[in-house]
């Protein structure tokens, strides 16, 4: 079985780009990835592309071949849709393809345009990742759903709004040196607590922004890397995927994420690691409570201890296991189709020493956690320095 190497990565700035198309954004990210990889576009055998709301935001379906063309690649291309976990799902399929020997060079990534829809339009578009029959028609939005999950967590494990505020503050600090981040400014706990309520107990600063952006990676087999003398020391050594019921009222748990539990367990087994080996993580913090649930599923902290992790400094840049050194979705931004791929871009830079916070980690094993909806879908990847 071939090992999957990250030959090159590319990322656009995240934020408001209302006059740019999705294909334009992805072309920029792909250009950067190919330049970083020093791999010929003619060697690409498959394209795997993540996008969630292209039909609603750009009146454009069938985006796989469109994005391959934008990237200057002539190869079979498929678009993956798994809500906010779309591009991580695309990466997982590319990993399987390389491992199975079906391909040696894959272009993977994702993009999303959202800001031109406005807050109401983007909220409505995002809502289709929930159960339309039983949630959306009843008026449930994702801030509302995560508010319910936060309330359930407080009821079961304790904690409160101030604990969540520390998650937001931490991630804004981490984003200060990220030139691609949507928000490169500090906020205080008081700012979070005094911000307008979005859905109790969550406020404005507990929520990630609406974003445009794209991310791309060139993945190659270790045989290809060796044959072409590529410097590709970072490998995707573990991949896992989990699922859960769509509607919250059908779930056994609201204060934990079984889909993420399963994805993490599969990825760790695949990579032959444990949570104790993890030096840093990029997790899906669409809302502050989501980071709390994510780090518990990853085993970075024990169940019920995630609420205090940021407050106690455990997941800060100076802590034992820094989380979301990019700024996370909270400060870096969340163009949903690009988010999962962007996490792997950030982690690759971290391991290669090209990240502003590379010196903050003690170890060469990191994980990415990308969730869809209220974690009805989740993909976890393990990245390691192997040579």
- What does the DSSP 8-state code read for residue 342? H
**Which string of b and e fits 237-274 if b means at least 16 CB within 10 Å?**
bbbbbbebebbbeebeebbbbbbbbbbbbbbbebbebe
Look at strands 234-243 and 377-385 and give their pairing.
antiparallel
Closest to 146 in 3D by CA, of 120, 164, 158, 119: 164
Task: Please classify residue 363 by burial: count the beta carbons closer than 10 Å to its beta carbon, then call 0-12 exposed, 13-18 middle and 19+ buried.
Answer: middle
Identify the active-site residue in 284, 334, 369, 381: 334
Closest to 304 in 3D by CA, of 167, 155, 200: 155
294 by DSSP, 3-state: which? helix
Note if 378 is an active site residue. no
The C-alpha atoms of residue 54 and residue 36 are separated, in whole angstroms, by 27
The residue written with tokens 């989990």 in the block is 242
The C-alpha atoms of residue 17 and residue 306 are separated, in whole angstroms, by 34
Closest to 78 in 3D by CA, of 59, 97, 58: 97
Q: Biggest alpha carbon distance in the chain? A: 57
| Helix runs in the chain, H state only | 22-37, 54-58, 63-70, 86-99, 118-126, 142-157, 161-175, 189-194, 222-227, 258-271, 288-297, 328-332, 336-352
Bridge partner residues of 5 (DSSP): 220, 235
The C-alpha atoms of residue 48 and residue 236 are separated, in whole angstroms, by 16
Q: Cα Rg for the chain, rounded, in angstroms? A: 19
Identify the active-site residue in 84, 106, 208, 378: 84
Note if 84 is an active site residue. yes
In the numeric block, which tokens belong to residue 376?
């009805």
In the numeric block, which tokens belong to residue 167?
């998650």
Residues noted as catalytic: 84, 334
């Amino acid at each position: 079985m071939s090992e999957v190497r990250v030959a090159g990565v590319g990322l656009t700035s995240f934020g408001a780009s209302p006059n740019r198309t999705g294909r334009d954004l992805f072309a920029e990210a792909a250009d950067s990835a190919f330049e970083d990889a020093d791999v010929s576009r003619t060697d690409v055998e498959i394209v795997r592309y993540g996008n969630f709301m292209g039909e609603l935001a750009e009146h454009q379906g069938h985006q796989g071949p469109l994005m391959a063309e934008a990237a200057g690649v002539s190869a079979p291309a498929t678009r993956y849709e798994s809500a906010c976990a779309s591009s991580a799902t695309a990466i997982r399929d590319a990993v399987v393809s390389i491992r199975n020997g079906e391909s040696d060079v894959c272009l993977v990534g994702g993009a999303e345009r959202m800001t031109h829809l406005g807050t109401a339009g983007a909220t409505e578009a995002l809502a289709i990742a929930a159960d339309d029959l039983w949630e959306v028609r009843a008026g449930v939005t994702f801030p509302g759903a995560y508010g319910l999950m936060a309330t359930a967590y407080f009821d079961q494990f304790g904690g409160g709004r101030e604990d969540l505020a520390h998650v937001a503050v931490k991630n804004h600090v981490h984003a200060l040196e990220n030139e691609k981040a949507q928000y490169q400014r500090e906020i205080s706990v008081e700012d979070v607590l005094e911000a307008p309520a979005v859905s109790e107990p969550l406020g404005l600063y507990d929520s990630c922004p609406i974003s445009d952006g794209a991310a791309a990676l060139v993945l190659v087999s270790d045989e290809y890397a060796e044959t072409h003398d590529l410097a590709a020391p970072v490998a995707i050594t573990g991949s896992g995927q989990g699922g859960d019921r769509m509607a919250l009222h059908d779930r056994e748990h609201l204060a934990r994420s079984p889909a993420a539990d399963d994805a993490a367990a599969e990825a760790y087994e695949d990579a032959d690691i444990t949570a104790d080996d993890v030096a840093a993580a990029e997790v899906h913090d669409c809302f502050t409570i989501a980071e709390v649930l994510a780090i518990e599923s990853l085993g970075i902290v024990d169940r019920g201890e995630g609420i205090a992790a940021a407050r106690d400094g455990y997941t800060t840049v100076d802590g034992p296991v820094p989380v979301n050194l990019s700024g996370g979705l909270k400060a870096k931004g969340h163009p949903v189709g690009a988010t999962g791929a962007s996490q792997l871009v950030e982690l690759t830079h971290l391991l290669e020493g090209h990240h502003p916070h590379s010196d903050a980690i003690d170890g060469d094993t990191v994980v990415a956690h990308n969730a869809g909806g209220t974690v009805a879908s989740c993909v976890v990847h393990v990245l390691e320095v192997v040579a």
